Structure 1
Amino acid sequence: MARITGSWLSGPQAGLDNGQAEGAYRGEALGLPASGPGSLATSWRRTGGLLADWLMAGCISLGFVGFNSQHLSSVVLMVWFVVGVVTVSLFSFTPGQFLLGMRVARVDMNGAGVVRGGLISVGLWRAVVRQILIVFCVPALVTDADGRGMHDRATGTALVLTR
């Protein structure tokens, strides 16, 4: 019984193979630095960026439909989705991520698990898939040993610091 529950109660380290050691810091397996520009963003900073994006989308939506609309929440979601896809595909960051010094970077993996080619722009299809997965929240809340959300793992991206 302990083995069954240990696989999900023990956290992201439980998913590592027996011969595979956890990195000394988050992002080491991806070839990212331990701190400073290019290192993985913390959960608090990621949450702050998302909150800033939602507030911005809410303000824009109020201009479209006003306070008393029954469709306000749907319009906020649509504005947030479109702004996220457009800005991440063009600039590799959303306005909230930019304010907090983060950007979405594509991490190409070779067989050894090392970043090949450094930080690469995300592109349209990755931005769309990433944004769709964030809408459902669960992939963003479930993280791996490096602290990347499942939406980032699915799209081969990582949220890294710019400053």
Structure 2
Amino acid sequence: MGDTTGASEETPFRYRGNRLGMPEHGPGSVPGIGRRLLALLLDWLLCLLVASALAGGGPGDPAGAAASSWPALLVFAGYSIVLLTLFGTTLGKRIVGIEVAATGDRPLPWPVAMAVRTLLLCLVIPAVVYDRDHRGLHDRVAGTITRRL
């Protein structure tokens, strides 16, 4: 995507992403919250299963699931950083048809941007505070946006 610095101040809001030069519908457009939450849920469940397996608990063990919450967060962070850095998407994002892209408004190298974005996402609050373009604080700090494939 090109450099969009200053674009949001000059371009009036018409739909999610227009101030960043993104289309209103179809590939490259900003997905809705439902699609993004479904991707997050799929990724979290996968990481929870991996953490539970590493901890030696079974999928039906509630004590094992509770005990694997912190390890699952660590698995999620590593999983997200690696897959987003290499492919711009995770398995959950890929299933629902979304990816993470740079906006050009932050001079961070891609791996650093993905690490910052993921660590802020793990804190939850930055992700639930978002603007009209559906960019959470984690995306704004990293200079990224989620878009449809």
Identify the TM-score tier after normalising by the shorter chain: 0.7 to 0.9
Task: Determine which of 52, 69, 83 is the counterpart of 1:62.
Answer: 52
The 1:65/1:46 distance shift into structure 2, 3 A limit, reads same
Shift in Å at residue 71 of structure 1? 3.8
Q: Say yes or no: does 1:36 pair with 2:26.
A: yes
Cα displacement string for residues 4-26 of structure 1 (whole angstroms, at most 9, x for unaligned residues)? xxxxxxxxxxxx98xx6741111
Instruction: Name the counterpart of 1:128.
Output: 115
Aligned residues: 134
Q: Say yes or no: does 1:86 pair with 2:82.
A: yes
Please tell me whether the aligned partners of residues 22 and 145 of structure 1 are also in contact (alpha carbons under 8 angstroms).
Answer: no
Please tell me whether the aligned partners of residues 128 and 136 of structure 2 are also in contact (alpha carbons under 8 angstroms).
Answer: yes
Shift in Å at residue 147 of structure 1? 1.4
Q: Which runs of 5+ in 2 are unaligned?
A: 1-7, 58-62
Instruction: Name the counterpart of 1:106.
Output: 102
Q: Say yes or no: does 1:147 pair with 2:134.
A: yes
Instruction: Name the counterpart of 1:7.
Output: none
Give RMSD over aligned pairs: 2.0
TM-score normalised by the chain length of structure 1: 0.76
* Shift >6 Å, 4+ stretches: none
Q: Which amino acid in the other structure matches residue 83 of structure 1? A: Y
Q: Which runs of 5+ in 1 are unaligned?
A: 1-15, 111-121
